[in-house]
Structure 1
Amino acid sequence: MVPPLALDIDGTLTTASGRIDPRVLELLPEWDAPVVLATGKAFPYPVALAHFLGRAETVVAENGGVVHVGGETAVLGDPEAPRAVVEAFRERGGDPGWGAGDTVNRWRETEVALSLDADEALLREVAAAAGGDVEVVDTGYAYHVKSTGVSKGRGLERVAGALGRAPDEFVAIGDSENDVSTFAVAGESYAVANADDAARAAADVVVADSYMDATAGVLADLRERGE
């Protein structure tokens, strides 16, 4: 039997150019165990991906700020503190970097994501001044201003409990600092070769391949092991 999965999206199910790799549509629909899409993206993105995969919408979004499992949604992050930090950042002359048509944050419920072109030092200074309830996480795709009390790992624990599973039954695959908490609670964890230093240090295995090449290889190994 194959194990349940906790999969990051960007950098893990994508190509180097950021597109969903077509192998996702071949490998995941038939995976005979729960698949949790655990991402820093806003809630609608992983829900849409699960929908097009024909899978249950089992989702940890916004770095754990929103969890959806069994048809029920839990909003776990506090949106007010991150938004206040970003407003203070703007007042200090900071630019979130997305321009007027900001679709990155339009559907985001619990955190704010800023472009990697934003002034990171100023953003972290403003966040630190707000106290210990807010943190900045660099996912390699954006700077996420989020509540310290939520994480992908805690989201996975919540999903696992709702599914009647233990978190350590899951195999996690990811590429970024925000996957470290997932790796900590999963039973087995893999960082793809393009992963940042934090993810590489936290993973049980660092795969030689990058992006979906790495993920496809791990899935093939897991399937062979389960036969």
Structure 2
Amino acid sequence: MVPPLALDIDGTLTTADGRIDPRVFERLPTWDAPVVFATGKAFPYPVALATFLGLPIRVVAENGGVVHADGETSIRANPAAPQAAAEAFLERGGSLGWGTDETVNRWRETEVAAAPDADESLLRSVAASTDDVDLIDTGYAFHLTSPTVSKGDGLRLVAEALELAPDAFVAIGDSENDVSTFDVVGRSYAVANADQAATTAADVVLEESFADGTMAVLDTLHTAANR
């Protein structure tokens, strides 16, 4: 049988220009094992993706800050410290960088995201000034988040709800926020466009980038399961 999957979204299920690869809609609905979306995106995004794929909603969102499995949503971090850090960043002349687009942070419940062209040095200075905030660079955003949560811990909760061991999962990702997921699963893959943290932590670094890499892994797993 094919293994359950823990899949990042941005850079992993997308094309180079940020669109969901259409093959995702062909392959994942027929995957004969649980699929968990583990992402830095706000909770509604992976919920919508699972819904439109016709999959059960199994989600680790906001880098582990929000987890949904077995019909229940768990808010696992207090947003007060990340929000205070974001306010301090703005007071010191920083900009979150999204312009008038409020959708990036509108539905976030445990963290604050800044655009990838935001002032990184200032963000890191602000985050370093408190023990209650971590800064995660996913390549698509800087996340001011709680150090008490991670994608890996979130996946453990989903696996428990599914009565599966975390090491039963195969994970695919592209960023430093996927390292904690790679640490708890049985096998991990970094797509070729992954950052150094992800490629160092992964069991396998793929030759293919973005969703091409993910599709290659799914092909390999499917072939192995049907031998």
For 1:128 and 1:168, locate their aligned partners in 2 and report how far apart those are by CA, in whole Å.
33
- 1:101 to partner: Cα distance: 2.8
For 2:63 and 2:126, locate their aligned partners in 1 and report how far apart those are by CA, in whole Å.
20
- Return 5+ residue gaps in structure 2 as ranges: none
* Cross-structure match for 1:102: 102
For 2:58 and 2:116, locate their aligned partners in 1 and report how far apart those are by CA, in whole Å.
28
* Cross-structure match for 2:213: 214
Paired letter, 1:134: V
> Structure 1, residues 10-59: CA drift from partner, whole Å, max 9, x if none?
00000000000000000000000000000000000000000000000000
- 1:133 to partner: Cα distance: 1.6
1:28 alignment partner, SS class: helix
Paired letter, 1:50: A
2:104 alignment partner, SS class: coil
Aligned length: 226
> Structure 1, residues 38-84: CA drift from partner, whole Å, max 9, x if none?
00000000000000000000000000000000110000011000000
* Cross-structure match for 1:183: 182
| 1:37 maps to 2:37 | yes
* Cross-structure match for 2:152: 153
* Cross-structure match for 2:27: 27
User: How much identity, in percent, do the aligned residues show?
Assistant: 69
* Cross-structure match for 1:225: 224
For 1:86 and 1:133, locate their aligned partners in 2 and report how far apart those are by CA, in whole Å.
13
| 1:162 maps to 2:133 | no
| 1:12 maps to 2:20 | no
* Cross-structure match for 1:57: 57
| 1:123 maps to 2:123 | yes
1:117 alignment partner, SS class: coil
Paired letter, 1:133: D
> Structure 1, residues 134-153: CA drift from partner, whole Å, max 9, x if none?
10000000000000010000
* Cross-structure match for 1:200: 199
> Structure 1, residues 90-109: CA drift from partner, whole Å, max 9, x if none?
11111111113321000111
For 1:219 and 1:211, locate their aligned partners in 2 and report how far apart those are by CA, in whole Å.
13
* Cross-structure match for 1:138: 137
> Structure 1, residues 188-219: CA drift from partner, whole Å, max 9, x if none?
00000000000000000000000111100100
For 1:11 and 1:116, locate their aligned partners in 2 and report how far apart those are by CA, in whole Å.
14
For 1:142 and 1:133, locate their aligned partners in 2 and report how far apart those are by CA, in whole Å.
19
Paired letter, 1:219: L
Paired letter, 1:203: A
For 1:36 and 1:175, locate their aligned partners in 2 and report how far apart those are by CA, in whole Å.
16
